[in-house]
Structure 1
Amino acid sequence: MDKQQFEKFIDNRSPENASYWKQQYTQANNNEVEAMIKIALLYKEQSYYKEMYHLLIRAIEIHDDADALYELANCYFEELDNRGSVELAFHFYERAALKKHPDAINNLADMYLNGEGTVVNEEVALMWFTKAAEIGVVEAMYTLGIMYEQGLGTEENPKQALQYYCKAAAGGYLDAVYRIGMIHFSGELDQPQNEKEAVKWFLKGAEGFHVDAIYNMAYCYENGYGVKQSLEQAIRYYKQASLLGDVQSTEKLVELYEMIDANEATKWRKKASEQLKQE
């Protein structure tokens, strides 16, 4: 896309920000790496994949930049413009990881764990996840919790697993918040069963709109686990989860309303049917 074509494109797409993007285009043509990546990602957003690949590859050839390597790996992994290749994605994630790009390190670890673009190697995956966690990647902390809990690439270590889940939860990772709630609810990882403590964690997850945590809040209120039993609160949380697409919550609403309001039961039964068709 030449300058005239780009200016026409940007004037039509984003007239209020046109001057900014035209400046970025000029800087990208002058081989300024941040601008090159910004324009490449703009091309990606608008499905101009040929231009996107060209610009990211040029940024790598000139600068060997970690962000450009990471973004190109994403493009290959996502199979954009029919150029999908997990092997190429692995190659570029590895190059970016060796430059200490946090998300590339985490993605490389995932590929070792799942055998994508390489053979499964849980020990190497553990090593890369640990590196990612050390530089603050909360998703890696959560995955390390799973690995230490299940003994993947290492010995099972309940204490270490819980520590990583707690680190991930402290970083705002909602799956970790929910998992800690389940640990306390069921008495896992050498922890005593504690329904009140579980509810505290489910509530944190629910406040972040984690659908399983919301469902569990409803379930706890329905049955009086860790909280005073309340049909009203159970229905409130089941409705929240249902609105987030959880069919099981919709079916629970049908079950509960069948006891108190036939019209509401009919309404939610219809919604459950619609949700099941969409699955």
Structure 2
Amino acid sequence: MKEKSDVMQTEEQFQDWLTQHFLEPKHWQQQFKLAKKGIEQSVVVVALLYKEHQNFEQANEWLNKAILLGNTEAMYELGNVYFEMEDEERAFEMYKKAAQLGHPDAMNNLADMYFNGEGTGHDERLALKWFTKAAESGVVEAMFTLGIMYEQGLGTEVDDQQALTFYEEAARGGDVESLYRLGMIYFEGALGQPQNREQAIYYFEQAAEHFHLDAFFNLGYISELEEGLMEKAVHYYKQASLLGDLESTKKLVHYYEQTNDAQAQKWREKLTYLQQDGE
């Protein structure tokens, strides 16, 4: 078995590798030299460069070097490498190690693995524990997932207020799915909240700014059927159709069949394309 020092590329080999991948040599050669000297940040940077270009062998070697220096980011990223290599058990162990040392994203990924039973047994209560820790550390994705868990009673009792609170926290952090979910909550009157069209529109518009397909469709639906503003609805349906939504495209075909034959043909062709693409 080769020693790690033999497996790692030499400066000359690294230079050749940079050339093959059309990477700017001066910056990366400097990082490589610093990494060779054991500068922790540079070790991680070089490892992530290899990972970005799917060179998992070298990424693994450099991340392990950073782990020996106690770097939790390297533990987390090595977990990502193992996960991409479909080695779920080793990914789980790396995420767990980094999570126990306080890495927020590792906490979230560890929770995901407990929740989905990847690399370990399915355990919703442990998932809830680690999603909570990740949320407390500012991971908005974890806040959104906690909203789902409290809404559906996964790993805990159903708690509408807790679910709403986590969705709101995640939305304030910019989580697009939480913005959309809040729109649906106020549109439907869910989680003990009264129906509130203005609030629903507000959250759908926020989600649409991030190109959320269903938010565009819902804004079109509200404009058409509740406000009677078909031109406004068409604008939103077009946005959703451009993102690949079949129902919005059908709406556009139906509208233009009554108003503009040329446009109707255009959107029929788009509908056919989307239907074939989805087969």
Flag whether TM exceeds 0.5 (same fold): yes
Work out whether 1:250 is the aligned partner of 2:249.
yes
What TM-score, normalized to structure 1?
Answer: 0.92
Question: What are the residue-to-residue correspondences of 1:151-170 with 2, within 5 Å?
Answer: 151-170=153-172
TM norm structure 2: 0.92
CA distance in 2, matches of 1:154, 1:242: 38
Query: Does 1:9 pair with 2:9?
Result: no
Asked whether 1:36 is paired with 2:40, we answer no
Alignment of 1:203-218 (within 5 A): 203-218=205-220
1:232 aligns with 2:231: yes
CA–CA distance in 1 between the matches of 2:73 and 2:144?
Answer: 24
- Shift in Å at residue 58 of structure 1? 2.3
Secondary structure of residue in 2 paired with 1:189:
coil
- The question of 1:47 aligning with 2:54 is answered yes
Residue equivalent to 1:264: 263
2:142 and 2:237 mapped to 1: Cα distance? 31
Displacement of 1:111 after TM fit? 0.8
Q: Which residue is equivalent to 1:202?
A: 204
The Cα offsets for residues 76-98 of structure 1, whole Å up to 9 and x where unpaired, read as 1111xxxx211111100000101
Q: Which runs of no fewer than 5 residues in structure 2 stay unpaired?
A: 1-8
The alpha carbon displacement at 1:18 in A equals 2.5
User: What is the identity, as a one-letter code, of the residue corresponding to 1:245?
Assistant: G
Distance in 2 between the 1:50 and 1:131 partners? Answer: 32
For residue 247 of structure 1, report the CA deviation from its aligned partner. Answer: 2.2
Distance 2:52 2:194 in 1: 49
Query: 1:219-253 CA deviation, whole Å, 9 max, x = no partner?
Result: 111112xxx32111111111111111222222221
Question: How far is the alpha carbon of 1:68 from its aligned partner?
Answer: 0.7
Once the two structures are TM-superposed, the CA of residue 124 in structure 1 deviates from its matched residue by: 1.0
Cα distance in 2 between the residues matched to 1:184 and 1:68: 42
Aligned to 2:151: 149
Count how many residue pairs are aligned between Structure 1 and Structure 2.
270
Alpha-carbon RMSD across the aligned residues, in angstroms, is 1.4
What does the per-residue CA deviation read over 1:115-141, in whole Å, with 9 as the maximum and x for residues that have no partner? Answer: 111111111111111111111000010
Displacement of 1:59 in angstroms is: 2.0
Instruction: Name segments (4+ residues, structure 1) moved above 4 Å.
Output: 11-15
Instruction: List alignment gaps of at least 5 residues for structure 1.
Output: none
Amino acid at match of 1:181: G
Report the equivalent of 1:63: 69
Over the matched positions of the two proteins, sequence identity in percent amounts to: 48
Deviation of residue 12 (structure 1)? 5.9
1:148 is displaced (CA, Å) by 0.6
CA distance in 1, matches of 2:276, 2:74: 41
Rounded to whole Å, the distance in 1 between the matches of 2:188 and 2:106 is: 35
Decide which moves more: 195-204 or 177-186: 195-204
